[in-house]
């Protein structure tokens, strides 16, 4: 066997091994990319979608409260499961959480694409309502507000919104001066709640898997 032939044989074998390794790495990366997102990332993704819906007006206060109540329940279940398993979730528990988040995901999509939208108008009352929603959306996006805190804040906003609609319906589409004062007082209380919940020790942690 000639030295030249031996050299080319070794080179060919080396190239074949390198190509095989590269292909295997590519396949592995492709497989990893198609895996279901980890629990923490999935939770963060859902919150981002809700925050966007609140900010855009696609989600009403009532719809947001309902979604965040469901998210809070999933989070509580996840914390309980971790506490029972030394800080980790079992494979079965991860599957269960993912299934629950799939259901919430469908609900987020449905609520964001239905006929219900949050339109507050250009009045002082409407602008105040929109400002509150913007602050809540920012708190959800940043993680300063937990799902449970957001649900409570949105329920408070829903109550105010329902009252405003009822008052307008009773007065030909307008609010009386005293009604405006009352709504502003209620929004002041809601504003304090938003600030307190955004600056307490509780955050929407997404560090654990």
11-49 tens-digit pLDDT: 455 555 444 544 444 444 333 333 456 899 999 999 999
Specify if 150 maps to a domain.
yes
What value does the mean pLDDT take over residues 54-68?
A: 96
Residue keyed to tokens 């959306």: 137
For position 62, what pLDDT does the model report?
96
SS3 195: helix
What value does the mean pLDDT take over residues 124-151?
A: 96
HSE toward the beta carbon, residue 57, CA cutoff 13 A = 11
Other beta carbons within 10 angstroms of residue 179's beta carbon come to 18
Q: Structural domain of residue 151, as residue ranges?
A: 39-198
Q: What is the pLDDT of residues 96-121, one digit of tens each?
A: 999 999 999 999 999 999 999 988 88
Specify if 203 maps to a domain.
no
Specify if 3 maps to a domain.
no
Specify if 157 maps to a domain.
yes
Specify if 2 maps to a domain.
no
Specify if 169 maps to a domain.
yes
Range in 36-40, 110-114, 133-137, 181-185 the model is least confident about: 36-40
Specify if 110 maps to a domain.
yes
Specify if 31 maps to a domain.
no
What value does the mean pLDDT take over residues 187-199?
A: 97
Higher pLDDT, 17 or 165: 165
Tell me how far apart the alpha carbons of residues 4 and 19 are, in angstroms, rounded to a whole number: 23
Q: Tell me how long the chain is.
A: 209
Conformation bin of residue 37: beta by default, left when phi > 0, alpha when psi is -120 to 50: beta
Work out how many domains the chain is built from and give that number: 1
């Amino acid at each position: 066997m000639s030295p030249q032939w031996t050299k080319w044989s070794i080179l060919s074998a080396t190239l074949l091994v390198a190509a095989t390794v590269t292909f295997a790495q590519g396949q592995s990366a492709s497989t990893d990319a198609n895996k279901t997102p980890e629990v923490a990332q999935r939770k963060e993704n859902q919150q981002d979608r809700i925050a966007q819906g609140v900010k855009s007006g696609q989600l009403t206060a009532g719809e947001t409260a309902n979604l965040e109540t469901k998210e809070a329940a999933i989070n509580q279940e996840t914390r309980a499961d971790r506490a029972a398993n030394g800080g980790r979730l079992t494979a079965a528990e991860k599957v269960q959480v993912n299934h629950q988040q799939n259901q919430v995901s469908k609900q987020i999509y449905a609520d964001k694409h239905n006929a219900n939208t949050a339109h507050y108008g250009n009045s002082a009352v409407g602008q105040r309502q929109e400002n509150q929603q913007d602050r809540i959306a920012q708190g959800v996006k940043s993680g300063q507000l937990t799902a449970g805190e957001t649900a409570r804040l949105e329920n408070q906003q829903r109550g105010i919104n329902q009252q405003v609609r009822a008052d307008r319906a009773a007065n030909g589409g307008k609010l009386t001066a005293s009604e405006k004062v009352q709504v502003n007082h209620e929004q002041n209380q809601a504003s304090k709640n938003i600030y307190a919940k955004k600056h307490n020790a509780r955050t929407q942690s997404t560090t654990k898997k």
